[in-house]
Structure 1
Amino acid sequence: MVHPSFRAPALGRVTAVEASDIPALAAGTAIFGTGGGGAVYSSQIVAERALTEHGPVPLVTVDELGPDDLVICMSGIGAPTVGIEMLFGTHQIDTLAREGQAVAGRPITALMAAEIGGSNGVGPIGWAARLGLKVLDGDGMGRAFPNAAMVSMNVAGVPCDFAVLTDVVGNVSTLKTVDLHWMERHARALTVASGSICLGIHYPLTASTARGAVVEGTVSAAIRVGHALLSSPDPVAAVAGELDGAILLTGKIIDLDRRTEGGFARGSVTLAGTGADRGRLQRLELQNENLVVLEDGEVLVSVPDNVTIIDAETGHAISTESLRYGQRVAVLAWACDPIWRTERGLELAGPRAFGYDLPYTPFRGGSR
Structure 2
Amino acid sequence: MQLDRQGLADLALGAAFLGSGGGGDPYYALLLAEAEFDRHGPFEVIGLDDLADDALVVPVGWIGAPTVSVEKLPNGREAVDGLRRLEEIMGRRIDAVIPIEIGGSNGLAPLFAAARLGIPVLDCDGMGRAFPESQMAIFNIRGLSACPSILTTACGALSLIETDDNLMHERLARALSVAVGGIAHLTEYPLIGRQARDHAIHGTVTAARDVGAAIRQARESGQDPFAAMFAALAATGLYPHAGVLFDGKIADIERETRGGFSVGRVRFESFDGASRMELEFQNENLIARRDGQVVAMVPDILTVMDRETAESITTERLKYGQRVKVVGAAAPAILREAGALEFVGPRAFGFAQDYVPIEEIDAWLKP
Q: TM over 0.5, yes or no?
A: yes
Q: Does 1:216 align with 2:211?
A: no
Amino acid in structure 2 at the alignment position of 1:350: G
Give, in whole Å, the separation in 2 of the partners of 1:291 and 1:130. 35
Give, in whole Å, the separation in 2 of the partners of 1:20 and 1:329. 26
* 1:10 paired residue number: none
Give, in whole Å, the separation in 1 of the partners of 2:133 and 2:31. 26
Aligned positions of 1:293-308 closer than 5 A: 293-308=288-303
TM-score, reference length from structure 2: 0.93
Deviation at 1:130, TM superposition (A): 2.1
Q: Does 1:88 align with 2:74?
A: yes
Give, in whole Å, the separation in 2 of the partners of 1:247 and 1:146. 24
Give, in whole Å, the separation in 1 of the partners of 2:224 and 2:305. 13
Q: Secondary structure at the match of 2:326?
A: strand
Q: Percent identity?
A: 41
* 1:367 paired residue number: 365
Q: CA contact under 8 A between 1:240 and 1:332: conserved in structure 2?
A: no
Deviation at 1:210, TM superposition (A): 1.1
Give, in whole Å, the separation in 2 of the partners of 1:40 and 1:238. 21
Deviation at 1:97, TM superposition (A): 2.0
Q: CA contact under 8 A between 1:257 and 1:269: conserved in structure 2?
A: yes
1:366 and 1:121, CA in 2 relative to 1: closer, same or farther beyond 3 A? Answer: farther
Amino acid in structure 1 at the alignment position of 2:277: Q
Instruction: Kindly indicate whether structure 1 or structure 2 has the higher relative contact order, using CA contacts under 8 Å at least 6 residues apart.
Output: 1
Out of 203, 215, 227, the position equivalent to 1:237 is 227
Amino acid in structure 1 at the alignment position of 2:261: F
Q: Secondary structure at the match of 1:149?
A: helix
* 1:267 paired residue number: 264
Which stretch of structure 1 is more off in the superposition, 243-252 or 262-271?
A: 243-252
Amino acid in structure 2 at the alignment position of 1:356: F
Q: Give unmatched runs, 5+ long, in structure 2.
A: 234-240
Deviation at 1:127, TM superposition (A): 2.2
Deviation at 1:123, TM superposition (A): 2.1
Aligned positions of 1:133-172 closer than 5 A: 133-172=119-158
Give, in whole Å, the separation in 1 of the partners of 2:322 and 2:304. 10
Deviation at 1:68, TM superposition (A): 4.5
Aligned positions of 1:29-44 closer than 5 A: 29-44=15-30
Deviation at 1:94, TM superposition (A): 3.0
Give, in whole Å, the separation in 2 of the partners of 1:191 and 1:225. 31
* 1:11 paired residue number: none
Out of 181, 186, 198, the position equivalent to 2:167 is 181
Amino acid in structure 2 at the alignment position of 1:367: L
Deviation at 1:300, TM superposition (A): 0.6
Task: Please identify runs of 4+ aligned residues in structure 1 that moved more than 6 A.
Answer: none
Q: Secondary structure at the match of 1:211?
A: helix
Q: Does 1:119 align with 2:108?
A: no
**Equivalenced residues, count:** 352
Amino acid in structure 2 at the alignment position of 1:66: A
TM-score, reference length from structure 1: 0.93
Deviation at 1:230, TM superposition (A): 0.6
Amino acid in structure 1 at the alignment position of 2:326: V
1:285-333 CA distances to partner (integer Å, 9 max, x unpaired)?
Answer: 0100000001232111000111100000000100000000000000100
1:366 and 1:55, CA in 2 relative to 1: closer, same or farther beyond 3 A? Answer: farther
